[in-house]
Structure 1
Amino acid sequence: MRLTFTAPLWQWDARSDDSWWFVTVPPDESDQLADLPLPPRGFGSIRVRVTVGSTTWSTSVFPSKQEQGYVLPLKRAVRQAEGIGPGDEVVVTLEPVGV
């Protein structure tokens, strides 16, 4: 399964530092992830392989009640490499790992 979507970059306001930035996986794509028969992982996370622009890496998406779906962390190195800033629309392709 490969999911591609566009979503804005936002900062998690529960932390005062500048290190926690995310995009929210849209509802339809979050529903598809939630339906996957994956083994349970910490915090309900799902391992994924992600591509944003020319950058590809492995990480996890995490369920968020507040966002009503999964959220994808975007580390600083990716944001800098791709020139992504607060509120920018980010085109994301992700593939669950181990499906």
Structure 2
Amino acid sequence: MHVEFESELWVWAARRAESWTFVSLPEDASEEIRHRAGGLTRGFGSMRVRATLGGSSWTTSVFPDSTRNVYVLPVKRAIRTAESLSPGDVTTVAVELLDI
């Protein structure tokens, strides 16, 4: 499965000293991932993916976010720096599931 979408970068503050930056996958893509996974997931309900954002590609995981009812993709600082992105920016992202 391969999906390309636009999404806004947003921050989830895990603890005072930590924060994580994510993009949210679209609802329809998230539903298809749940359907294709058929209950097969890794830790925290994650699914391995190959992500591409601008000229950067990396292997990571998407995670279910029960608050938003979608999967979310973490975007690490090195990628944000390489692509000159900050929270609040909207960008095009491609995600390819690796395990199914």
After superposition, the C-alpha distances for 1:2-53 in whole angstroms (9 at most, x for unaligned) are 1001110000033333641001111011111111136331111000000000
Structure 1 unaligned residues grouped into runs of 5+:
none
1:52 equivalent to 2:53? Answer: yes
TM-score where L is the length of structure 1: 0.92
> Counterpart of 2:80?
79
From the superposition, tell whether residues 79 and 33 of structure 1 become closer, same or farther in structure 2 (CA, over 3 Å): same
**Does the alignment pair 1:94 with 2:100?**
no
Match of 1:41 in 2: 42
**Residues of 2 paired with 1:3 and 1:73: CA distance?**
16
**Number of positions where the alignment pairs a residue of Structure 1 with one of Structure 2:** 99
RMSD: 1.4
Q: Unaligned regions of 5+ residues in structure 2, if any?
A: none
1:35 aligned partner, one-letter code:
H
Deviations 1:33-84 (A, max 9, x none): 1111363311110000000000000000000111211010000000000011
Percent identity of equivalent pairs: 45
Moved over 4 A (4+): none
Helix, strand or coil for the counterpart of 1:95? Answer: strand
